[in-house]
Amino acid sequence: MNRTNKIKDKLIIGVSLAPAAVIALLFTYMAFIFCLVISFTDWNMLRPMSFVGFENYVYAFTSKEFLNTLRLSFIYALWGVPLCVIIGMAIGVLLNWITFCSGFFRVMVFLPVVTSMVVASIVWGKIFDPQMGSLNQMLNAIGISTDSHWFNWTKDSMGGSMAALLIVGIWKQVGYNGILFLGGLKNISTEFYEAALIDGAGSWKRFTKITLPLLSPTTFMVTMLQVFSAFKVIVSVIVLTKGGPADSTDLLVHHIYNNAFKYFNMGYSSAVSVILFVIILAFTFIQLTFEKKFVYYR
Amino acid sequence: MSFELKKNKPISTGSIVAYFFILLTVLIINYPFFWMIMTSLKTNSEVFNSNSFFPQDVKWGNYAEAWKAANWSRYFMNSFIFALIPVAGQIFFGSLAANAFTKEFKGSKILFTLFLGTMMIPVGSIMVPNYVIVKNLGWLNTYNSMTVPFLSSAFSIFLLRQHFMTIPKELEDAAIMDGAGYFYYLFRIIMPLSVAPMLTVGLLTFMGRWNDFVWVVIMTTSEKLRTVQLGLTVFRSDWNTEWGNLMAACTFISIPVILLFLTIQKKYINGLMLGSVKG
């Protein structure tokens, strides 16, 4: 009796996990192993593949284009992450401050998160349009000259294109971060503030001495989320800049995509995929170590 | 863990300042949406000849023109299929797996870690091999490639398990005493008690699938399988697409996902604030 029950239990567990396990195995783990294997070949979809050892990796780290891609991705992250965190925090503080209609404002800052990146990139692309777009018109209206080639945005301005990608990326993320910060702020007990008020601390002092330290777990989590998402950017690149002008916005995932599906360098783009994985892995380790050590918990 | 709002606070200068800034923030953040809708109501000559934010003579015809210019009904149908089948899959298979992971069995910890491990592998780094896998399955340009890989995800399993763990064990003991089987208990008792996390899973899956672009571009070339997102990019690059038409298309393809979000926003945003839905 007991034995048949045990077999039945195992069967139930097996049946329950099978569909999810097949999908995880096939489309993630096997895919990853394939990726590793392909990265050591010269496969280009035309001729049969042959193993070339570390050639793709050596090529990557000695070629200008890959180092450029890597540099651009880090530049994107170095600008995007702090801005997303700071603006997100400001939105969180504002949302925490207000009481009336708070639900409405939460929804309103969240709408870009829900919208597709394709729509976001197309709409922003028109706003960025140097002649007809409303951004330059507005800048002109408030007295900022848009004669500099920067303000050609996605049309043949290298810095402008990167700035455009950053603006779209930040716009899409800050509402999400704002809500995460709001959650963190609501977790801070009001007793701390009451005590500080009695001690006569001003609002800036209360923010820097109470809010910031007690919010640090959220800040850390949001920062890491932003780092990961900075290295995943692709749709805005495809739709808004196509990696250009002159490869100035050819971020990592777009580089993988272009090499694989435009030039059919499957071997090389798999090698870049593995490098991307290693970068994400390194950040995950940073996250796991620092989470324990440096975050100030109550 | 106090989630109570400080109520009955008198209106102070501080809160007026706060409202000023939050209104400004909301206006700036939503400016692209206002601009999109305003432009969708403008004629082409107005777009190019006038600096006015509001349309001078409202041209609703842009919506009809945009709708007629491409096979949108087909694209909408595809997008709904590609979104709703994974939604059903993630809730059904996710609940199955999540419930199994609430039990202790040999290797349960390792298996669960392996599931969570899938979240560490960035999607961007496995799109090339996934193309190869889908190709070898003979699934390029089929509905399978657009639905099957998304029938389950570690994130949904994790989210549902978190909730299933909070359901008291006594409930299961009582149900089994009454003769309920494992699956009867899962489908008739646990799942009805877990509507909130299932809605979150549903919303996240729908958003992800409806808004997805790269997977569709890689896995399909056929016009028959085109989704609204892909349709929009093709519609844009068709030469001389008028801005009004393009913005009208941007507007109508965003409506389903925004409506869905507005329906469940309260549960979702509260979940996000509690830190239970990060990801």
CATH of domain A63-293: 1.10.3720.10
Q: CA-CA distance, B67 to B40, in Å (whole number)?
A: 12
- Residues of chain A with confidence (pLDDT) below 70: 1-2, 293-298
Q: CA-CA distance, B154 to B121, in Å (whole number)?
A: 12
- Burial class of residue A158, CB neighbours in 10 A (0-12, 13-18, 19+): middle
Determine which of B112, B128, B217 to mutate to test the interface with A (most A C-beta atoms within 10 Å). B128
pLDDT band at B279 (very low <50, low <70, confident <90, very high): very low
Cβ-defined contact of A239 to B7 (cutoff 8 Å): no
Determine which of A69, A105, A116, A286 to mutate to test the interface with B (most B C-beta atoms within 10 Å). A116
- CA of B70 to nearest chain A CA: how many angstroms apart? 17
Whole-prediction pTM: 0.90
Give all strands (DSSP E) within A17-157, no chain letters.
none
Q: CA-CA distance, A229 to B75, in Å (whole number)?
A: 28
Q: Report the pLDDT value the prediction gives residue A73, as an integer from 0 to 100.
A: 96
Which helix or strand (DSSP H or E) is residue A208 part of?
A: none
Q: CA-CA distance, A96 to B87, in Å (whole number)?
A: 33
Q: Report the pLDDT value the prediction gives residue B46, as an integer from 0 to 100.
A: 84
Convert the pLDDT of each residue in B33-46 to its tens digit: 999 999 999 988 88
- Burial class of residue B144, CB neighbours in 10 A (0-12, 13-18, 19+): middle
DSSP-derived letter for residue A211 is: I
Q: Report the pLDDT value the prediction gives residue A297, as an integer from 0 to 100.
A: 52
What is the average per-residue pLDDT within B52-72?
89
The fold of the B70-238 domain, in CATH, is: MetI-like fold (1.10.3720)
pLDDT higher than 80, residue B179: yes
User: What dihedral angle (degrees, nearest 10) is formed by the CA atoms of A88, A92, A94, A97?
Assistant: -170
Q: CA-CA distance, A130 to A280, in Å (whole number)?
A: 36
Q: Report the pLDDT value the prediction gives residue B3, as an integer from 0 to 100.
A: 47
What is the average per-residue pLDDT within B93-116?
92
pLDDT band at B11 (very low <50, low <70, confident <90, very high): low
Cβ-defined contact of B1 to A187 (cutoff 8 Å): yes
Cβ-defined contact of A95 to B22 (cutoff 8 Å): yes
- CA B260, distance to chain mean position in Å, is 9
pLDDT higher than 50, residue B243: yes
* Tokens linked to A246: 């002159």
pLDDT band at B212 (very low <50, low <70, confident <90, very high): very high
Tallying the residues shown for chain A, one arrives at 298
Q: CA-CA distance, A131 to A151, in Å (whole number)?
A: 10
Complex-level ipTM: 0.89
Task: Please report the sign of the dihedral spanned by the C-alpha atoms of residue A175, residue B30, residue A155, residue B211.
Answer: positive
Cβ-defined contact of B232 to A20 (cutoff 8 Å): no
pLDDT higher than 90, residue B254: yes
What is the average per-residue pLDDT within B163-167?
91
Helix (H, G, I), strand (E, B) or coil at A41: strand
Cβ-defined contact of B124 to A253 (cutoff 8 Å): yes
A41 bridge partner residues: A51
Smallest CA–CA distance from A126 into chain B, residue: B243
Convert the pLDDT of each residue in B130-141 to its tens digit: 999 999 999 999
B157–A contact, CB cutoff 8 A: yes
Most confident option among B9-18, B129-138, B237-246? B129-138
Give the number of beta-carbon pairs within 8 Å between A and B: 258
Helix (H, G, I), strand (E, B) or coil at B222: coil
Convert the pLDDT of each residue in B96-107 to its tens digit: 999 999 988 888
Task: Please report the sign of the dihedral spanned by the C-alpha atoms of residue A274, residue A276, residue A280, residue A286.
Answer: positive
pLDDT higher than 70, residue B265: yes
B83–A contact, CB cutoff 8 A: no
Determine which of A10, A15, A16, A266 to mutate to test the interface with B (most B C-beta atoms within 10 Å). A16
Smallest CA–CA distance from A127 into chain B, residue: B32
Cβ-defined contact of B29 to A109 (cutoff 8 Å): yes
- Burial class of residue B247, CB neighbours in 10 A (0-12, 13-18, 19+): buried
Cβ-defined contact of A17 to B100 (cutoff 8 Å): yes
Q: CA-CA distance, B159 to B87, in Å (whole number)?
A: 14
Q: Which of residues 190-229 of B touch A (CB under 8 A)?
A: 207, 210-211, 213-214, 217-218, 229
pLDDT higher than 50, residue B277: no
Residue spans of the domains in chain B: they are 70-238
B217 bridge partner residues: none
Cβ-defined contact of A123 to B236 (cutoff 8 Å): no
Contact present, A232 and B122 (Cβ < 8 Å): yes
